[in-house]
Amino acid sequence: MSSQPMDLSGRGVLVTGASSGIGRETALLLSELNARVILVSRNRERLEAACQQLQGTGHRVEPFDLTALQEIPAWLKRLTAATGPLAGLVHCAGIQNSLPLRVLSLEKLEAVFRINISAAVMLAKAFCQKGCSVPGGSIVLVSSAMGLVGRPGIPAYSASKGALVALARSAALELAKDQIRVNCVAPGFVRTEMLEQLREWLSSEQLAALEAQHPLGLGAPRDVAYAIAFLLADTSHWITGTTLVVDGGYTAH
């Protein structure tokens, strides 16, 4: 193992949801660790803006709609033919809706699952294709503390994030023979654009109560990015099938 096990020099890492929030901060941190980052989301303009913040060279902006599930394997095959095989894949892209079970429609449920879990399955499947990843590759799925503990009003989101945890366990066992590791990071509430959307649903008193449920306070995107980088780097070469909870103590209650 390198004397600098967090160094990602020469490694290509694809990050979905890289135009905002945790995905954008993860891309930035990975560039600081000398990785070549492929930034993925639907919005080219926001991706370009995020890419301009990265350190180093060799990064790539790749607009793609992950709801096109069937196209993901062929898309990644073409992409890695141009960039070289990947050392890492981080699935940060996700949808959160605050719809109680009584008003949750099948359409809304399927929309959440399509990005949060179905796209993750297809990305992992694509990563395993010949020539798409290097031995020792690492897949990191961004789950949520809400996939581990209950919270009213977000059944679709919680179910999809819990499914990521189960996916990581199963895929880790299946892909170990290919020297591919699969893990999850489960953040608590982090100060991102997604949290700002909650302000439309929650009062100031409810938001204050939410923050109080985190003994260390609400997190920052960088807090989660550090955990993701740890699971991508040689620091976690003996870790697979697990979920690293980064939640300021939220689930310790």
List, by residue number, the catalytic residues: 157
Query: Smallest Cα–Cα separation from 139: which of 68, 224, 228?
Result: 228
> CA of 168: how far to CAs of 94, 184, 212, 253, in Å?
16, 7, 30, 25
Cα(64)–Cα(252) distance, integer angstroms: 37
What would the two tokens of residue 35 be? 């990785």
